[in-house]
Structure 1
Amino acid sequence: MAPARKSKARSSGALFWDLLTFDRLVTGPVIHLIYWAGLGVVALFAFSVVGAAVGLALKEQGVASLLLAFPVLIAGLLVAAGMVLLWRAFCEFYVAVFRISEDLRALRQANDADHAVASSVRGPGA
């Protein structure tokens, strides 16, 4: 059952009140911003790994420094790729938790509406 869509044309006062009373959660967009910021941090880590590998290769002349720099580069980039996957999973977990919260809120409102209809059908004395 698809949740009912709210109209986009809401007054700013109603939106502000929803934010103050936690009727509307802003966590979804905030998580997206945090996700992109985290990816930026992981990209900085990846660039530092590449810089460290190049610096290690240029430190001394010869094949030994290249043989040491190449595994550092590969291992660092693999760690960065793993960090990207873990960060994505972490952020998706929080998005899923807050979507479950929104679904539970919608179910609670539907249940309250059903109880109101049932009580009005039975009458005030029943």
Structure 2
Amino acid sequence: MPPANKSKRGSSSLLWDLLTFDRLVTGPVIHFIYWAGLGVVALFGFSVVGAAVGLALKEPGVGSLLLAFPVLVAGLLVAGALVLLWRAFCEFYVAIFRISEDLRALRQTSDADHAAHRARQAQKAASEAQ
């Protein structure tokens, strides 16, 4: 159970939040993973461009150019689709953890409402007993 007064927690608050899962670190971690994944997709895109250029330069003539152009277009389309899929995956992951945080806040509000209701009932019972 965390200390009651948050202002007195000081430097141990971050450690306490991490140990008790009161604060999730998933958001910053997902941002890092997102940018790392975009880097991998960019490497794929660069390799597609390199493969298309290498294919075009392999043999002189129109045949190699006719083969290189569809490879370039298809590879860039696949890279674009990978960017969109990666973004959707990361947003889904963030949404799941935001739902978890919202449910935690709703539970805290509900518990506070129930405690206030019980206190009113106890106060009412005490006043009726007198």
Look up the match of 1:53: 52
Paired AA for residue 120 in structure 2: V
d(CA) in 2 for partners of 1:125, 1:93: 48
Q: Give the alignment's TM-score, normalised by structure 1.
A: 0.89
Is 2:71 the partner of 1:72? yes
Within a 5 Å distance, the mapping from 1:16-95 to structure 2 comes to 16-95=15-94
d(CA) in 2 for partners of 1:85, 1:118: 49
Residues 79-98 of structure 1, C-alpha deviations (whole Å, 9 max, x = no match): 00000000000000000000
d(CA) in 1 for partners of 2:106, 2:35: 32
Paired AA for residue 13 in structure 2: A
d(CA) in 2 for partners of 1:56, 1:112: 66
d(CA) in 2 for partners of 1:121, 1:12: 37
Q: How many residues align?
A: 118
User: How far did residue 125 of structure 1 move?
Assistant: 9.2
Gaps of 5+ in 2: 1-5, 126-130
User: How far did residue 12 of structure 1 move?
Assistant: 2.3
Gaps of 5+ in 1: 1-6
d(CA) in 2 for partners of 1:12, 1:89: 36
Structure 1 runs of 4+ off > 4 angstroms? none
Look up the match of 2:128: none
d(CA) in 2 for partners of 1:52, 1:22: 47
Q: Percent identity?
A: 79
Q: Give the alignment's TM-score, normalised by structure 2.
A: 0.87
Which has the greater radius of gyration? 2
User: How far did residue 11 of structure 1 move?
Assistant: 2.5
Paired AA for residue 103 in structure 1: D
Look up the match of 2:106: 107
User: How far did residue 14 of structure 1 move?
Assistant: 1.1
- SS of 1:123's partner is helix
Look up the match of 2:3: none
- SS of 2:99's partner is helix
Considering only aligned residues, what root-mean-square deviation do their CA atoms show, in Å?
A: 1.6
